Structure 1
Amino acid sequence: MITELPIALAAVLFGLAGSTHCIGMCGGIAGSVALSSGGKAGQPVFLLAFNLGRLLSYALAGLLVGQLGHLLSEGQSLGLVLRTFAATVMIVMGLYIAQWWQGAAYLERVGQLLWRHIQPWTGKLLPADRLWKCLLLGGLWGWLPCGLVYTTLIWSGTAASSPWQSGLLMLLFGLGTLPAMMTTSLLASQLRQLLQRRGVRQAAGGLVILFGVFTLPWLALLDTHQPG
C-alpha cells in the first residue's frame, strides 16, 4: 500500500538519488529554458513551469500503467506475482542507483520507439520564451527514454493498489528530482558532485534495495511453498 511510509519514501529516494542521471539527460534542455526567460529574475518561474509539466507527465504515465497493473492484479495469485515483481524491480533500481548493475538502462531502447514520435514536437516549442511553452515542453520531455523513469514506472504500476496511487508514486518520484532540476543553472555542478560520490550513491542504492527486500510478500511466498 502507498500509505506505508517506506513505499512513499522509496519513490522520493528514487528521484533524489537518480538526480545525477536526470541532470545529464534533462539538464541541457532545462538550462535552455532558463536562458529563454530573457533575464535571471524570470528563470525560476520558467524552470518551475517546465518541471511542473514534466511531473504531470510522470503522474499521467503512472496512472496509465497503474490501470494496467490494477486490471492484472484482480486475481489473488497474480496479485502475489505482481507484488513480488514490484519488490524485485525496487531491488533492480537500488542496484542501478548504486551503480552496481546498469540493467535498468536497457529500457531506454524500448522508449526510443515512442520518443521518435514525440521529439519533433519539442523543437516546435523552442525557444521556450513563454510559460505555456515551458509547461508543454516539460510535459513532452517527461516521456524522454530514461531507464530510471521507466523502471520506477514499472515499479509504481505493480506496487500501488490503485491507478491513482501509482500516479501519486510517480509524482513523488518527480518531486525527488526537483531540487536538482530547479538548480540546473545555479548549483547543479555542486549537487552533481555530491550525488556522484561513491559512498552517497551506494548508501542510497543500498537503502532502496533494503526497501525492496522488506516489501517482498515473504509470508505469502512461504505459504505457497508449504505442503497442502
Structure 2
Amino acid sequence: MDNKHEILQLLRQVADGNTTPEQALTALKRQPFEDLGYAKVDFHRSVRQGAAEVIYGAGKTAEQIIGIARTMGERGCRNILITRLDAQPAETVAQVIPVDYHPIPRLAIAYPDAHASRGKIVVATGGTSDMAVAEEAALTAEVLGNHVVRLYDVGVAGLHRLLSRLDELMDARCVVAVAGMEGALASVIGGLVDCPVIAVPTSVGYGASFGGLSALLSMLNSCASGCSVVNIDNGFGAGYLASRINQMEGLED
C-alpha cells in the first residue's frame, strides 16, 4: 500500500466485515518501511506528505537505485522521482525498470504513469543556462499533479521579454523564479504578481557569483513581499513547495 486511499480502503473492509481487525493490523505493520540493508524505503511518505518518497540519485550505485525503485514499484508506487541521476547509471537503471529519463535536469521518473494536471505554476528562468535547475522544478511539479508553464530566458538583461508574458504570470497560483548571476529575477517577479514566489538561486555566473552565493544573498534580501528562497540549485525543493502551494489553493476552488 502506497497511499492514504489504500489505507482508507483497508479500514472500510474492516468496517464492512470483509477483513478482520487482526488482518488489518498485520497489513499496517508491514506498511511503514522496508529495510533493504542499504536503505529503508518509506512507504508511509505519501500518507504523511501526499507524495511518495523521492530517490536522490547522486552517491548511490545504479544497483541501489534499482533496488529502491523496484521495491517501491512492487508496492504500487508510480511516477517515482529519481533526482541528480547521471546518464550512465540512468541507462543501467532503464535496462531493469521502466524509466523516463530527462538528461538536462538529470532527473528520471520510474514507473511513469498518467497523472493529473491542476492549477497553474509558472517556472521562469533568468537565462538558458538556468534550465537544468528549472526543469528539475518543472518536472517535479508536473509529476506531483500540477499544470506547469515554462517561461525560459526572461531575465532582467532584457526585461521586455518578461513583461510580454505578464498574462501568464498574473494567472499563476505560484511562480518559481530561477536565476543565477545577481538573482534579480525573483525580486522583479515578486513585485508584479499577487501569488507566492519561490526564488531559486543557481550556481550560474562568473567568479564573484561564488557558485550561486551572490544570487542566494540577493534573493534573501529581496524587498518584494511574498518571496521565499530555497537552496542553491534546489529545483526539486522549489517544485515540491510550489506543488503544495498550488494544490492548497486548489482546495478553495
Q: TM > 0.5 between the two?
A: no
TM-score (norm 1): 0.24
User: Which TM-score applies when normalising by structure 2?
Assistant: 0.22
* Greater gyration radius: 2
Bigger fraction of residues in strand: 2
Q: Which has the higher helix share?
A: 1
Q: Which has the higher contact order (CA 8 A, sep 6+)?
A: 1
